[in-house]
Amino acid sequence: MIQGVINYFKCLLNLSDCKNVHKLLFDYVEGNLPVEKHTKLSAHLRDCPLCLEYVNTYKLTIQTCHDCCQPKDEMPPELADKLRTFIQKEL
């Protein structure tokens, strides 16, 4: 309990550490980050309740979209790559 409160305040005081989490989120959730970045982000999430909540909400949103909007046919890999590139470039 006390460690959770400490981590919460550490997170609030070090928001600069959190500002780039959103840029890595898609690849993190999809399991596409290089091992070193995945390990660092996972460590950050263990210590940052705000980012962890953000990631969990992001995962829930993805799951909800899959459950409600799953197309019958898979997206062609070329289109998926273009979409991923666009998202990374714009975010």
Mean pLDDT of 66-77: 80
Q: What is the CA radius of gyration of the chain?
A: 15
Residue with the larger pLDDT of the pair 41 and 3: 41
* Percent of the chain residues past pLDDT 90, beyond the cut: 22
Give dist(CA 74, CA 76) in Å, integer: 6
Q: What is the pTM of this model?
A: 0.56
Given a contact cutoff of 8 angstroms between Cβ atoms, the answer to whether 45 and 52 are in contact is yes
